[in-house]
Amino acid sequence: MYMIKFLFNWKYRHFKTKIRSVERTIEDLNFKRFKIAEIREEVRKEYDNLKAKLAATEQEIKKQAENLTAPKEEVARLEDQKIVLTRDTERKLAQLKEFDLEISGCKPNQDYQDGRQGINDQLGALQELKQMLIEYVKEI
């Protein structure tokens, strides 16, 4: 019966091909989600290192401020270093938030008026589509 449907029913062939296409798209999105999670983890480690450096710099600034004999150039250098580390930390945090948005998406809010569809949402929609296609092929 399967072979007869496959040979003579063009709708059956079309929708079977469509199901395979949806399955491939699902696998592509799974791969994309995996790679984004890997990159996010690397950025998170860099963020943690920057936060630790920033905390150490702030401690050093406090110590230099208490030590009245410290050279002013050293304090100014530490202040500049603190500004650079703060800026870099904020950039890494923004990257982390962007990765989270790309994976999970978000509901409509002030920044995203229409919301944002994430990879997880796309995967859910494709799984539903696949099930609908399978049910339809059974009816053909």
For the whole model, what pTM was predicted?
Answer: 0.76
Q: What does the pLDDT look like over 63-74, one tens digit per residue?
A: 887 877 777 788
Distance CA 140, CA 132 (A): 13
Secondary structure E strands in the chain:
105-106, 116-117
pLDDT above 80: residue 113: no
Contact 88, 81 (CB under 8 A): no
CB environment 45-78: b (16+ within 10 A), e (fewer) = ebbeebeebbeebeebbeebeeeeeeeeeeeeeb
Each residue's pLDDT tens digit, 17-26: 999 999 999 9
The pLDDT, as a whole number, for residue 33 is: 95
Per-residue pLDDT, averaged over 86-90, amounts to 95
